[in-house]
Amino acid sequence: MSNTSRKRREALVYHAKPKPGKIEVVPTKKYATQRDLSLAYSPGVAEPCLEIEKDKENAYKYTTKGNLVAVISNGTAVLGLGDIGPEASKPVMEGKGLLFKIFADIDVFDIEVDTKDVDKFIETVKNIAPTFGGINLEDIKAPEAFEIEQRLKAELDIPVMHDDQHGTAIISAAALLNALELAKKKIEKVKIVISGAGAAAVSCTKLYKAFGAKAENIVMLDSKGVIRKDRDNLSEEKAEFATARKIDTLDEAMKNADVFVGLSIANIVSPDMLKSMAKRPIVFAMANPNPEIDYNLAMDTRKDIIMATGRSDHPNQVNNVLGFPFIFRGALDVRASKINEEMKKAAVKALAELAKEAVPEQVNIAYGETRLNFGPDYIIPKPFDPRLIAKVPPAVAKAAMESGVARQDIQDWEKYEEELLERMGNENKITRLLINRAKTNPKRIVFAEADHLDVLKAAQIVRDEGIGFPILLGRREVIKELMAEIDFEEEDVIIIDPKSDDEEEHRKNYALKYWETRHRNGVTKYDAEKLMRERNYFAAMMVNEGDADALLSGYSRAYPTVVKPMLELIGMAKGVSRVAATNVMNTSRGPIFISDTSINIDPPAKDLAKIAQMTARTVQLFGMEPVIAMISYANFGSSKDPRAKKVKDAVSYLHRFHPELNVDGELQVDFALNREMLQSKFPFSKLAGKKVNTLIYPDLDSANSTYKLIKELNNVDSIGPIMMGMKKPVHILQLGASVEEMVNMAAVAVVDAQEKEKKLKK
């Protein structure tokens, strides 16, 4: 199967499984009892209805209106795919819904309208507008898009924005201002070619003009060529940008141009055209999914280029995803009646300035970069930059207030910023971070139980995503048969059957090494050779002898049966007195580390302190600062029972020997996780006012049960158990781990191998 068809299949499976589509509706109120239901629905529901009848503004108080945006399309200009119809546009609209949610915690109903008639479309949107706090028009073709947006803006009192026009304009203007600064060119002087004269192109060009670009320096092209003043039947929007120059083609327009902006279709710019541009050319090829010129081709053609595309797989993604979530967030939070020029300009400035600030380590890790820095490859922030939510919405909200379109003021900006950051606790940031870090330096991972379909599926993803190079251990025929079933090609993959004759040499070698370390423990050479037929022993010896970098096992066996040989063969790292395991839970309040989830049954106080220290180092590996609560059933000396005392002693030890650690306790878990409660009852605590992200439990019973409880009840993703303190990167899966969990664990194993390698080099 070719790479392209694999990617196609992957995209289709992603959308189809496990449930069709990408978003769902989740109740936000309790609904367990008859009483709950009588409040949620009849008779209780009548009360808010009557309040809203008295005053429509009360809809913001009693319903989701204030946080609900409609993403509406008629499917006439879907990405660069053209007029593919309303049904076919739905995956894109659901996708926008997903982006609104993950980047700005805004809920979305996607609505696909089956009409190309402007009046009917407007009527539909107006009729459903009471449901929403804002309207995001999407992928509607020009010129209809202009009229639709203008009329809806005039007739509705909630923010209406055609994202392809203004979202794109805002992002590309921010990127353009920064690119011009880097190229040392002035916007008033540069010659600009705009390919496309549709919704996005016209709106972008208008905004560039608002920032100083001169109409006489602009050449715009549509499907018929250069838009000249002497062309017949030009729409009002196109006429604004018609040029007096006597040129007809893109070729001609590109000569000596400083800036090319593509909002048209794929592959219409040639290398020769790029060569004919002025020095230090700026090229934004933003057609989706494929740009006007391929990124690599452009980069190979001109070394002095500043290049951007709309895609996420190259540097400088100029895509409206950086805009619409944050612009609507700011507009909704002050109940703006519209999104006006002032708000758009404020967003441009906030984005452009953010790109010049030092990039947090989390962003570097998330994008697998060593150091992102303002420069030709980084002219605009990355969509996963956690600062966007704290910078752009306040700028937009402030501009709305200052320009008189806000119906609700924000007084305390610091508090607002905090609330914005709190909103973004729940997402897969940490998983992304982990996987990207692994991809920076993939390692050889032994999958010790590769003759299981799910293990192979995980190994396939690990190989395809570039997380690592799988070494598959197990019965060769079974592995091959299963690989064929999932079109898993053998490229970059090694298959080893530890029991086969082919491996006799390896077995003998490993057995000898093993025997040399264990012959005083009653192990004979014969025993050692026999053991090496066992996959976990063989795999562990591979890692020990440097034939593999990391090991993953435990999918099909109980945890202790795998831990034992690993401890025996691989052992603990230098200076470590015990191993432990932590699990990261992707909870709605952000990632939470829980230890020890898998190994130490009832660790004494000093060991508990060691577990806390090791977990702190693991938390740092994920780019976070550990804030650790030592959990008990008691709070700060409220019980004299030895179990509570043990935790207290562990805390004293940590305070004495590791004052640099943000750790305190003993604490009940609710106080640990509830900042207000902790602050009000225990203001003296080292954790007061801080957001705890690490929970160290006093024993295995409580830690293991807690993480599994969270996982099962809240359907929360968990990464782990992450083994801490081993000499080599060995990680043991939970029995029956899912494919996703195995992929994450493979990434953990790779990152662990990278860290251990770094330590060795020091």
> Among all residues, which ones are annotated catalytic?
96
Residue 21 vs 289, nearer CB to Mg ion = 289
225-226 and 218-222 beta bridge pairing: antiparallel
Q: Least distance to Mg ion from the beta carbon of 294, Å?
A: 21
Q: Which residue from 135, 183, 257, 263 is in contact with ligand NDP, where contact means CB under 6 A?
A: 263
94 is a site residue for ligand CC(=O)C(=O)O (CB under 6 A): no
Q: Which residue from 104, 142, 395, 672 is in contact with ligand NDP, where contact means CB under 6 A?
A: 142
Distance CA 550, CA 462 (A): 13
Q: Least distance to ligand NDP from the beta carbon of 459, Å?
A: 35
Residue 39 vs 79, nearer CB to ligand CC(=O)C(=O)O = 79
Residue 99 vs 458, nearer CB to ligand CC(=O)C(=O)O = 99
Q: Least distance to ligand NDP from the beta carbon of 284, Å?
A: 8
Any residues with CB less than 8 A from the CB of 150 and at least 6 apart, and which?
none
* CA neighbours closer than 13 Å in the CB half-sphere of residue 26: 7
29 is a site residue for ligand NDP (CB under 6 A): no
Distance CA 539, CA 471 (A): 10
Residue 164 vs 503, nearer CB to ligand CC(=O)C(=O)O = 164
Q: Least distance to ligand CC(=O)C(=O)O from the beta carbon of 746, Å?
A: 32
Residue 260 vs 416, nearer CB to ligand CC(=O)C(=O)O = 260
Contact between 73 and 87 (Cβ < 8 Å): no
Contact between 351 and 333 (Cβ < 8 Å): no
Which residue stretch of 316-324, 330-338, 425-433, 703-711 sits at the interface with ligand NDP (rule: CB under 6 A)?
316-324
Contact between 551 and 522 (Cβ < 8 Å): no
Q: Which residue from 98, 102, 265, 495 is in contact with ligand NDP, where contact means CB under 6 A?
A: 265
Q: Please name which of 680, 681, 682, 676 lies closest in space to residue 664, comparing C-alpha atoms.
A: 682
Residue 262 vs 315, nearer CB to ligand CC(=O)C(=O)O = 262
Site string for ligand NDP, 270-289 (x = CB under 6 A): ----------------xxx-
Q: Least distance to ligand CC(=O)C(=O)O from the beta carbon of 339, Å?
A: 16
Any residues with CB less than 8 A from the CB of 702 and at least 6 apart, and which?
631
The burial class, CB within 10 Å (0-12 / 13-18 / 19+), for 404 is exposed
74 is a site residue for ligand CC(=O)C(=O)O (CB under 6 A): no
Residue 265 vs 421, nearer CB to Mg ion = 265
Tokens 């519209």 locate to 338
Q: Where are the alpha helices (DSSP H) in 156-226?
A: 168-183, 199-210
DSSP string, 176-189: HHHHHHHHT--TTT
288 is a site residue for ligand CC(=O)C(=O)O (CB under 6 A): yes
Q: Least distance to ligand CC(=O)C(=O)O from the beta carbon of 184, Å?
A: 30
For the chain, what is the total number of helices (H) and then of strands (E)?
31, 21
Q: What are phi and psi of 58, to 5 degrees?
A: -65, -15
Site string for ligand NDP, 388-427 (x = CB under 6 A): ----------------------------------------
Distance, C-alpha 747 to centroid of its chain: 16
Contact between 611 and 596 (Cβ < 8 Å): yes
139 is a site residue for Mg ion (CB under 5 A): yes
Per CB under 6 A, contacts with ligand NDP among 544-573 are none
Tally Cβ neighbours within 10 Å of residue 113. 18
Distance CA 109, CA 144 (A): 22
The burial class, CB within 10 Å (0-12 / 13-18 / 19+), for 428 is middle
Cα distances (Å, whole numbers) of residue 345 to 351, 400, 743: 10, 11, 42
Q: Which residue from 23, 37, 39, 79 is in contact with ligand CC(=O)C(=O)O, where contact means CB under 6 A?
A: 79
Distance CA 67, CA 131 (A): 10
Q: Which residue from 319, 362, 694, 718 is in contact with ligand CC(=O)C(=O)O, where contact means CB under 6 A?
A: 319
Tokens 């509706």 locate to 25
Per CB under 5 A, contacts with Mg ion among 160-219 are 164
- Amino acid residing at 316: N
Contact between 376 and 331 (Cβ < 8 Å): no
Q: Where are the alpha helices (DSSP H) in 622-728?
A: 642-657, 669-673, 675-681, 700-714
451 is a site residue for Mg ion (CB under 5 A): no
Q: Least distance to ligand NDP from the beta carbon of 353, Å?
A: 20
160-162 and 134-137 beta bridge pairing: parallel
Q: How many residues bind Mg ion (CB under 5 A)?
A: 2
Closest residue by beta carbon to ligand CC(=O)C(=O)O: 288
Distance CA 262, CA 551 (A): 47
Distance CA 81, CA 61 (A): 40
Per CB under 6 A, contacts with ligand CC(=O)C(=O)O among 138-167 are 139, 163-164
Per CB under 6 A, contacts with ligand NDP among 212-251 are 221-224
Q: Least distance to ligand CC(=O)C(=O)O from the beta carbon of 163, Å?
A: 6
Which residue stretch of 189-197, 361-369, 403-411, 636-644 sits at the interface with ligand NDP (rule: CB under 6 A)?
189-197
- Collapsing DSSP to helix, strand or coil, 401 comes out as helix
List contacts with ligand CC(=O)C(=O)O (CB under 6 A): 79, 139, 163-164, 288, 310, 319-320
List contacts with ligand NDP (CB under 6 A): 77, 79-80, 141-142, 164, 168, 195-201, 221-224, 263-265, 268, 286-288, 310, 318-320
List contacts with Mg ion (CB under 5 A): 139, 164
